[in-house]
Amino acid sequence: MAAPRAYILGCAGPDLTDAEHRFFAEADPWGFILFARNVDTPDRLRRLTADLRQAVGRAAPILIDQEGGRVQRLTPPHWRAWLPPLDQVTAAGPGGAERSMYLRGRLIAAELHAVGIDVNCAPMADIADDETHPFLRNRCYGTTVASVLSAARAMAGGLLDGGVLPVVKHIPGHGRGRVDSHLALPVVAASRDELERDFAPFRGLADLPLGMTAHVVYRALDDRPATQSPPVISLIRDRIGFDGLLMTDDISMQALNGDVVDRGRAALAAGCDLILHCNGDPREMAALAGAVGPLSASAQDRAERALARRGPPVQIDIAAAEAELGALLKGQGNG
């Protein structure tokens, strides 16, 4: 069987149209990503995930950004509301943060798995500081290497135990970003030695199956955004040691120059395995489909290794997990 194409695509609404079905059958994306525009009721969402897979004729991975807090595509009344991650680890305290993040990941995974979503764009391994841009700061898990690494490892473990693959982001670190990369390009002037702190959590998570790049320029490494920088991608592979499947952050974000085809080609040439395209614009997706070929042999190998880690959820008592998490966040589990 031929390798699927080296991109992840989205669709426009909560139902797959006939035109989208035909397009995806021809374009054969590696996977799909969903947003709030695609989410209505659980039954409707289950139908959408099934239809997307039927379009490509395989159990294609379906991604979502369900970090919890501000970045939460599944919301009440059908799904739980979540504190921002940084607020949760603060509420749980040093003694409860790690366990609380495991339970967060496990409960989120249960909700995702029930509607056919098997990849979550979490955990975050970016380190927050006082000047981290507000679009990112409370999405982070801590302000030190140790706190971020332990919380991110726990979140990833909860997702995996729930049958959902984690995507660690934003490699090699977005915490020093002072602007919102959805709107502009962050430029980091820190020295190479200073950046080692940012890299450290990702080094500790290098065994995770999937990763996402940062649309950030690190002046000490290159003048190009990490997503499009061969030196930075080489650093991710060699210095950080990440050998999982590496996707771009959303290629349609305004941090990058050029059209989506130019952006995507630059990312693949730099060493990314996959282009992530999120807005569901049919013209942009058609342009990518006309310009981007299948996964490379090395990317296909990484993809197969990543998908081999999809498994059935480990049994859990959901009510007991909710109660334990509630107690941790009230300070009753910190001893």
Catalytic residues: 182, 249
CA dihedral (110, 279, 258, 172) in degrees, to 10, reads -10
Instruction: Calculate helix-pair angle for 18-27, 282-291, nearest 10 degrees.
Output: 20
* Triad 71, 77, 82: Cα angle to 5°: 35
| C-alpha–C-alpha distance, residues 150 and 155, integer Å | 9
Per DSSP, the chain holds a count of helices (H) and strands (E) of 12, 12
Lookup: tokens for 130: 């006082």
Residues in the chain: 335
- Residue 270: HSE in the Cβ half-sphere, 13 Å Cα cutoff: 26
Comparing CA positions, the residue from 269, 191, 261 lying closest to residue 224 is 269
On whether the CB atoms of residues 167 and 119 are closer than 8 A, the answer is: yes
Encoded tokens for 304: 């197969």
Side chain identity at 104, as an amino acid letter?
R
CA–CA distance, 207 with 138 (Å, rounded to integer): 25
Beta-strand relationship, 5-9 and 66-68: unpaired
